[in-house]
Structure 1
Amino acid sequence: MNSMIHVLKNTACAAALAALVVSITPVSQPAQAQQAQPNQLDQAVVALRGISTMRADFVQTDRNGQRVSGVMTLKRPGRIRFQYQQGVPLLIVSDGKALTMIDYEVRQVQRWPISSTPLGALLDPNRDVARYGTVQPTGDPSVVSVEVRDRSHPEYGVITLIFLRKASAPGGLELVNWVALDSQNKRTTIRLSNHQYGQPVSDNTFKWNDPRSPSRR
């Protein structure tokens, strides 16, 4: 468990950033690509925009095959919480302003202002950013795969979103997993299950207890 937690700490932020991108923004892409495959891209946009709140179980897998599970809670715009399984002393939360990873084992907090990340441009309607999505062939009409990358910023990595067609999901597509590949080629996969949409979610869900001593805050 200790080695798994160590690896998890190295990959959790990339996974959470990917999740936050998924939760707060539609996928866009150059006009030429949009004309080539408009239907699936439009459907993915509708599905993402249609999520107001969502809870789902998740399983996070790193490139070595180590897994850890938990519950993800999402509330648009920009709020998300990864509550990891018992025994994993990590919490990842976004309150819509910053993404925070809390390590209760070592009483450490890492915090990234959304305004200083690609997420800032995604959240701020006054800022323009190019986000590019490309539909990937799956060979299965019930599966939609969209690869999202900003080629002008390779340091942002690549996110591949996988949807399954489901009539009861927002926009008729249910996000079932995504794969985040960071600039160091570290791959993290998140798989979702037991989705629940539109349930009331208090803003208090996205608050957290600071484990640091007052002098370190």
Structure 2
Amino acid sequence: MRFRPALAAFASLALTAPAVAQPNVIAKVQQHLRGVQTMTADFVQTDRKGKALTGKVTLKQPGKIRFQYGDGVPILIVGDGRVLHFIDYQVRQVSKYPIGGSPLDILLNPKRDLSRIARVVPSAAPGVITILARDPQRPQFGSITLAFTENASAPGGIMLEGWVALDAQNNRTTVRLSNQRLNGPVADTVFLWDDPRPKKKAG
């Protein structure tokens, strides 16, 4: 799995640097998000304690996403267009959250007008564009900071490299992407999952 050194400083600066208005950059990000109908990528996910997990993420608009973790991790996250399912196969539990109440809503709802909720965050990493998105009318849903690099072959001329999500409980999750593939075929069956909860007996 390949990594981009420019993202090394991304997680720390993205949450502390002041936001500034740069409408041209926001427009490019909006064009990119609306132009990516599907994406597959490898990812490294790091929580606030520094624990890292790897896997593959698959996205399909509108609203579908799947985080498939590597061997030995009994967790699956699947968004079906409306709800994010957090499936824990070890304890046989499923938690559900509305996508609209998650920071990932920015990625999974490209029709949203970013100019109303996003600002550019100055980046100390050369060649990295970062934007901070937070809905001021729904602060309880947290925020997400997206990182991009210039890429002429991608929609908007930029490529999504990762993000930092901060939820309402101030839990920070950093996701870094590699081996991104855009707008290839992705079947809807990718977003199906096996329910680990015990079946209820009839009668």
TM-score bin (small chain): 0.7 to 0.9
Aligned to 1:185: 170
Aligned to 2:119: 134
Q: 1:68-96 CA deviation, whole Å, 9 max, x = no partner?
A: 00000000110000000100001100111
Runs of at least 5 residues in structure 1 that lack an aligned partner in the other structure: 1-32
- Taking a change above 3 Å as real, the CA distance of residues 173 and 152 of structure 1, as seen in their structure-2 partners, is same
Aligned pairs for 1:102-181 within 5 A: 102-114=87-99, 117=101, 119=105, 131-139=116-124, 142-181=127-166
Aligned-residue offset at 1:130: 9.2
Report sequence identity in percent: 52
**Contact 1:138/1:144 (8 A) holds in 2:** yes
- Taking a change above 3 Å as real, the CA distance of residues 197 and 130 of structure 1, as seen in their structure-2 partners, is closer
Which secondary structure does the structure 1 equivalent of 2:200 belong to?
Answer: helix
- Taking a change above 3 Å as real, the CA distance of residues 129 and 38 of structure 1, as seen in their structure-2 partners, is closer
Whether 1:210 and 2:195 are equivalent positions in the alignment is: yes
Detail structure 1 runs of 4+ shifted over 4 Å in the superposition.
127-131
**Contact 1:131/1:148 (8 A) holds in 2:** no
Which secondary structure does the structure 1 equivalent of 2:185 belong to?
Answer: coil
Q: 1:177-208 CA deviation, whole Å, 9 max, x = no partner?
A: 10011222211100000001111110000000
Distance in 2, matches of 1:129 and 1:137, equals 17
* TM-score for both structures, normalised by structure 2: 0.79
Among 30, 37, 46, the residue aligned to 1:52: 37
- Taking a change above 3 Å as real, the CA distance of residues 113 and 153 of structure 1, as seen in their structure-2 partners, is closer
Aligned-residue offset at 1:97: 2.4
Which structure features the higher share of helix residues? 1
After superposition, the CA RMSD in angstroms is: 2.6
Q: 1:24-55 CA deviation, whole Å, 9 max, x = no partner?
A: xxxxxxxxx7xx42211110001111101100
Whether 1:66 and 2:51 are equivalent positions in the alignment is: yes
Paired amino acid for 2:154: A
Which secondary structure does the structure 2 equivalent of 1:214 belong to?
Answer: coil
Distance in 2, matches of 1:46 and 1:67, equals 31
Aligned-residue offset at 1:110: 1.1
- Taking a change above 3 Å as real, the CA distance of residues 49 and 141 of structure 1, as seen in their structure-2 partners, is farther
Distance in 2, matches of 1:185 and 1:165, equals 30
* TM-score for both structures, normalised by structure 1: 0.74
Aligned to 1:194: 179
**Contact 1:62/1:188 (8 A) holds in 2:** yes
Among 95, 98, 101, the residue aligned to 2:86: 101
